[in-house]
Structure 1
Amino acid sequence: MTRFRRRTCITLGIVILIVCSFMLALKSLRPETAAFGSPFGLGLLPEFQKVTVHQEKPSVKPNVKSEHRPQAEMLVSQKPDPVKMENLPPPNYNLHVFYYTWYGNPKFDGKYIHWNHELLKHWDAKIAGNYPTGKHNPPEDIGANFYPELGPYSSKDPSILEAHMKQIQSAAIGVLSLSWYPPQMNDDNGIPSDDLVPHVLDMAHKYGLKVNFHIEPYKDRDDVNLRDNIIYIVDKYGNHPAFYRYKTNTGKNVPMFYIYDSYITSPDKWANLFMPSGPQSIRNTPYDGIFVALLVEEKHKFDIKRSGFDGLYTYFATNGFTYGSSHQHWSSLKEFCDTNNLIFIPSVGPGYIDTSIRPWNFKNTRNRINGKYYETALNAALLVRPSIVSITSFNEWHEGTQIEAAVPKKNAQMKYEDYLPHKPNIYLEITRKWSAKYTKEREQWLV
């Protein structure tokens, strides 16, 4: 028995020695800057390399509308002088972020807008019956799984616009891709917001930022009225110093437009507008530009080429949700674009969760993993050497894709997701780090 115990101890000691040696070998292969367990050997900024904490899923409780006394305040449009940029990184104009101005609160709008988003029903009545309906009831209960550091703000509030521009500039992002509806039009949960564009442009200019337009699928959008709206945008905003222009290979500086849900209009209709021979063609006119289509399915790349678009983007922050949003397809999409003289713009995001407005949609949730999900997406984007990278999003709170600062919050009804154990601005810091990396790598690609 004693001999058996001795052999057992010796064997166990050898196994432990082998395991320890193997772990040391693995550690030596890992980049020194990488956080243990991070995908692709990617680490967060040194001060943020902490272990993942489990976050409880919030519960959504629809409430009746609350009553508030409106205190209307109006923005005053002006073109402020740019602020001095000491201690701030230079803006990277090849890095675009999708930005939304559809939020409102009682002080500036007389009521809450979008923060009181309705709970959307599942299309299958049997499934829909298992989930709550109604609207959220701000300020404690908002239509988001995270809670903004600035609270349920109004996009009309000048201090909010300034705070946003500071955050965006601190992240070394150069371009806001502004969600846009034509005058007197809006999404199902909002109000018209074209009158805010001059104020966004003014504040962006103050921080050295540029603005282009992310045209939403407004009612009855087609080639004819989109042409009219492009002319409207260029005529009204094109001379503003913050209006973004893309430098083409021929040396021209032209406007750039993202066309969301472009696939719902037929390629033949788009060809009327974007092909030089089309009856509504905008090519070789003062309103010509770079027009970027949304790719969802793989077949859309052929439709986009036939339509006469100049490029494609992927928008969605959920890796695997669509063909376009799946990182594994970006290399082949970039190759297709290079072959067909198109611009490929991959869209990266910090995560995805929209169960505050789609309580049945757990399958599309993507955990942020304390920033690692975002860094993995950024790394995947840079691997294909894109001329532009887009970020989904700065402040699309309903879908949990925001990089805007968020804070922990809980009440009797729910506990919001948060960025703990990191600071409220962790995703701005990560963006700033990768913006610098992107700039450095682009310089090498162009040599």
Structure 2
Amino acid sequence: IKQFSTQSIVAFHIQHYKGRTDHSVYNSIKYIIDRYGDHSAFYRFTTSNGKALPLFYIYDSYLTPPEAWAEMLSPTGSHSLRGTLYDSVFIALIVEERHKHDILAGGFDGMYTYFASNGFSYGSLHQNWKGLKAFCDSSNLLFVPSVGPGYVDTSIRPWNNHNTRNRVNGRYYETALQAVLNVRPEIVTVTSFNEWHEGTQIERAVPKKTVTRLYLDYQPYKPNMYLELTRKWAEKFSKEKEEWLM
């Protein structure tokens, strides 16, 4: 969670697509930075050595072998971005425990958990975050836990009811955010702003029903309940982070 003034700041989340390889991602990174790198809304992360670099999240990174990622992300790779104008902070997806070793071998700068359902994967299980943070700290990696207000995707995945997580009037979200504070990460991500099909939206919501769908709302609470909770915890995160660094 990061607070900004009146302008939105954008970091890119690179999804998996048919034919995605380290080479195609390499070309995408170059295009994105060439096209948008000078824009005032282009997010840059200040690293421990003081460099302000673009930050990219690579979804389903485990589908590409670590040896291939290393060709792009290690300094000695055949088409390395390191030390070039396109050098960036690359965050891989941690799903299974074994992926943490692949992430390190692939030359990534960190890992994120993405899934809003506590226990959807090894990486998204809150009780595993302490161990993952320790691994990242010892490996000079960023650990980026992801939180969400709840989860229900049965309208598109009827078989996935076991991963449904009730919002409990905001308590599920706050429990996840407290779990984040307990491991003291540099960054935390929220999944998501408006993915209604997975029930993870935090945007304003009012009652709405169509022929095929009943949309979740936050009644009897205000339409902006989850935006207010996000602001509250962003301020708390910023304050506690200052204390960690003192």
SS of the residue 1:308 aligns to: coil
Alignment of 1:219-238 (within 5 A): 219-238=18-37
Q: Which amino acid aligns with 2:16?
A: P
1:374 and 2:184 matched: no
Q: 1:212 to 1:363 in 2, by over 3 A?
A: same
Equivalent residue in structure 2 for 1:321, among 106, 113, 120: 120
How many Å separate the matches in 2 of 1:423 and 1:281?
49
Partner of residue 179, structure 1: none
CA RMSD of aligned residues (A): 1.3
Aligned to 1:295: 94
* 1:231 partner SS: helix
Which residue of structure 2 aligns with residue 305 of structure 1? 104
The TM-score normalised by the length of structure 2 is 0.97
Displacement of 1:314 in angstroms is: 0.1
Residue from 148, 158, 161 that aligns with 1:349: 148
- Map Cα deviations across residues 191-226 of structure 1 (whole Å, 9 max, x no partner): xxxxxxxxxxxxxxx922211100011221111111
1:404 to 196, 200, 203: 203
Q: How many residues are treated as equivalent by the alignment?
A: 246
In structure 2, runs of 5+ residues without a counterpart are none
- Residues 414/249 of structure 1: CA separation in 2 closer, same or farther (3 Å cut): closer
2:42 counterpart (234, 243, 246): 243
Residue matched to 2:185: 386
Check 1:284–1:411 CA distance in 2 against 1; reply closer, same or farther (3 A cut). Answer: closer
Helix, strand or coil for the counterpart of 1:324?
A: coil
Match of 2:135 among 336, 339, 352: 336
**CA offset at residue 378 of structure 1?**
0.2
Distance in 1 (alpha carbons) for counterparts of 2:179 and 2:227: 19
After TM superposition, which residue ranges in structure 1, 4 or more long, deviate above 6 angstroms?
none
Quote the Cα distance in structure 2 between the aligned partners of 1:213 and 1:412.
35
**Residues in 2 aligned to 1:386 and 1:409: alpha-carbon distance in whole angstroms:** 37
- Paired AA for residue 363 in structure 1: H
Paired residue for 2:218?
419
Q: Given the alignment, which residue of 205, 227, 236 partners 1:428?
A: 227
Matched to 2:20, the amino acid is R
In the alignment, is the contact (CA less than 8 A) between 1:393 and 1:403 conserved in 2? yes
* Aligned residue in 2 for 1:208: 7
Query: Cα–Cα, structure 1 residues 412 and 225, in superposed 2: closer, same or farther, change >3 Å?
Result: closer
Pick closer, same or farther for the CA change 1:375–1:279 going to 2, 3 Å: same
Letter in 2 for 1:232: Y
Q: Give the drift of 1:410.
A: 3.4
Q: Are the aligned partners of 1:210 and 1:243 in contact in 2 as well (CA < 8 Å)?
A: yes
Cα separation, 2, equivalents of 1:354 and 1:414: 12
Out of 250, 254, 263, which is 2:53 matched to? 254
Residue 434 of structure 1 aligns to a residue in which SS? helix
Q: Which residue of 2 aligns with 1:198?
A: none
In 2, distance between residues paired with 1:270 and 1:425?
41
Can you list the C-alpha shifts for 1:170-193, whole angstroms capped at 9, x where unaligned?
Answer: xxx44xxxxxxxxxxxxxxxxxxx
Q: Go from structure 1 to structure 2 and tell me whether the alpha carbon gap of 1:227 and 1:413 turns closer, same or farther (over 3 Å shift).
A: closer
* Identical amino acids, percent of aligned pairs: 61
- Does residue 271 of structure 1 match 2:105? no
Query: SS of the counterpart of 2:158?
Result: coil
More contact order relative to length (CA 8 Å, sep ≥ 6): 1
Gaps of 5+ in 1: 1-94, 97-172, 175-205
Alpha-carbon shift at residue 412 of structure 1 (Å): 6.1
Residue 433 of structure 1: how far off its partner (Å)? 0.6
TM-superposed CA distance for 1:417, in Å, is 2.5
| The structure with more radius of gyration | 1
Paired amino acid for 2:58: I
Task: Note if contact 1:223-1:280 (Cα within 8 Å) is conserved in structure 2.
Answer: no
Instruction: Return the TM-score normalized by structure 1.
Output: 0.54
